[in-house]
Structure 1
Amino acid sequence: MDAFTRLILEAEQAHFSGWDFSFLKDRLVSETPPWDYRRIITGAMTDANSLLDMGTGGGEFLATLLPLPPHTCATEAYPPNIPLARRRLEPLGVRVVEFQDDDRLPLSGEMFDLIINRHESYCPSEVWRVLKPGGRFITQQVGGRDNIELNEQLGADVDPEYIDWNRQQATEELGAAGFHLSFQEEALSRTVFQDIGAVVYYLKAVPWQIPGFTVDFYRNRLRDLHARMEAGYPLVTHSHRFLIQCVKEPAG
């Protein structure tokens, strides 16, 4: 079995659950953005009695933020993640809520002092509805140009509706919903894929990067990319991230 076939096979057979990329340790290396999301969140939690984590995945990140506010909930829309999140978070006193529609969260109005959202879609008016007056919404989003070099290398189309998702668009939408913007920043951070197995595993774990991706369809492009990587030229892409903090100011 040649190296290309072995790396592809390993990547296709590797298990992925929650939001765990440990399989890619040292094989996918990405610079961190200039802000510290964890530090920002833990700082905001100090005066929060209620917290909502939107798109918790398997609860991996939320479970590291102990101690949590007395009333903490998490939402998750991807069915395979629900049991993972409940097993991890319910022993910590966290209620995990399954939902399917950003426009209709199954939560009562004005429930939370703080809503956090890391790489999850959201509806600004729904965030506004469930946030208490004076409460804060903090989100780190994946921008529309995230790792776009992957698509270019494999000759894959980029979603024209998503490509323009950036800090400006998000802040305009949140402002229109009534939020007061208190902080915003955007960054393109260098990311390096060390081998073709890392590329395939990533595309399997993040299916929206190249919708409908299969090794068979892209085999020739993948083999060409593998040859360049084996020759000492890893694939360099850029992670597109932006961070926004905003406040639902009390009426009057």
Structure 2
Amino acid sequence: MMRSFEELITEAENAPTEGWDFSWFEGRATEARPSWGYQRVLGEWLARTAGGASLDLQTGGGEVLAGALAGALTGGPAGASGERRPRTMVATESWAPNAAKATRLLHPLGVAVVATPDEPPLPFADGAFDLVTSRHPVRPWWDEIARVLVPGGHYVAQHVGPSSVFEVTEFFLGPQPRDVRSSRHPDQEVAELREAGLELVDLRAERLRMEFFDVGAVVHFLRKVVWIVPRFTVEAYRDRLRELDAQIRAEGPFVAHSTRHLIIARK
């Protein structure tokens, strides 16, 4: 039997939100994953960059990079020196709790974590990296990405696409303008990366089903993924949350859809 509205809300408000570990949602929400498997792709590219230098932007708590690095060490092709990972590895993160978590996780793996704002400039020299990666960056600063890449270097990332999880956004905020719904479109990003001097190598996009089984899962999601409903608080949206709780109890899971695209570019 589902717990009361107040119990679900209190639990979700008190749950920690740092990092990109989504194990809290087990049994509470589901999201289909892109067919390409970003962590596996990242591991392959880390192995391909064996002996070089890599930069992971907006690494969160470092969980995805750590998992990809494990894949690179066990399954990827070795470089000329026998290494299966970049010789120099750096990750950036702007939110202090995430930066601290990433430091604890990644430093033992030989990855330096740099606390730096998401906005440019990046605190690195021109042509410092053979590989730049990112999973769900707030915004890709293409000129900076191009600047820190060596000629022939690659950008490999999974981006959030247009209208992602807008069923949740519009439940709380109402219908969104067309320009908001179309932001983050991969076609626009391709035009921007080309303008910055990068060449598109691969682009794949998918729309993926999500289900929320209780209102607490929605609250925790909105506290963790803060751009879905900006400045979300339980108190500001308590009445709407009660309506959502009643809807889920009467009709079943709240269904939404995320959009993702894999983008690979070369300088």
Does TM-score exceed 0.5, indicating one fold? yes
RMSD value over aligned CA atoms? 1.7
Displacement after TM superposition at 1:45 (Å): 2.2
Name which of structure 1's ranges 154-163 and 56-65 shifts more when overlaid on structure 2: 154-163
Partner of 2:96: 79
Partner of 2:41: 40
Displacement after TM superposition at 1:39 (Å): 2.4
Aligned to 1:239, the other structure's residue is in SS state strand
Matched, 1:200 2:201: no
CA distance in 1, matches of 2:167, 2:118: 30
What TM-score, normalized by structure 2, do the two folds share? 0.87
CA distance in 2, matches of 1:161, 1:87: 40
**What is the number of equivalent residue pairs in this alignment?**
247
Partner of 1:15: 16
CA distance in 2, matches of 1:247, 1:230: 49
Paired AA for residue 35 in structure 1: W
Residues 162/116 of structure 1: CA separation in 2 closer, same or farther (3 Å cut): farther
Partner of 1:63: 66
Name which of structure 1's ranges 232-241 and 65-74 shifts more when overlaid on structure 2: 65-74
Contact 1:167/1:243 (CA < 8 Å) preserved in 2? Answer: no
Match for residue 151 of structure 1 among 169, 177, 180 = 169
Paired AA for residue 226 in structure 2: P
Contact 2:209/2:257 (CA < 8 Å) preserved in 1? Answer: yes
Paired AA for residue 104 in structure 1: P
Contact 1:102/1:122 (CA < 8 Å) preserved in 2? Answer: no
What does 1:180-199 align with in structure 2 at a 5 Å threshold? 180-199=199-218
Partner of 1:30: 31
Contact 1:74/1:97 (CA < 8 Å) preserved in 2? Answer: yes
Displacement after TM superposition at 1:159 (Å): 7.9
Partner of 2:157: 139
Cα deviation digits, residues 98-122 of structure 1 (max 9, x gap):
2115320001111111111100122
Structure 1: state its 5+ residue gaps. Answer: none
Partner of 2:265: 246
Paired AA for residue 34 in structure 2: P
CA distance in 1, matches of 2:179, 2:159: 16
What TM-score, normalized by structure 1, do the two folds share? 0.92
Match for residue 54 of structure 1 among 48, 52, 57 = 57
CA distance in 2, matches of 1:137, 1:75: 15
Paired AA for residue 70 in structure 1: R
Name which of structure 1's ranges 81-90 and 195-204 shifts more when overlaid on structure 2: 81-90
Aligned to 1:11, the other structure's residue is in SS state helix
CA distance in 2, matches of 1:72, 1:231: 50
Match for residue 121 of structure 2 among 98, 104, 115 = 104
Displacement after TM superposition at 1:9 (Å): 0.8
Would you tell me which structure has more helix in proportion to its own residues? 2
Contact 1:50/1:70 (CA < 8 Å) preserved in 2? Answer: yes
Residues 34/158 of structure 1: CA separation in 2 closer, same or farther (3 Å cut): same
Residues 225/101 of structure 1: CA separation in 2 closer, same or farther (3 Å cut): closer
Cα deviation digits, residues 118-140 of structure 1 (max 9, x gap):
00122101101111111110111
Q: Percent identity?
A: 40
Displacement after TM superposition at 1:217 (Å): 2.3
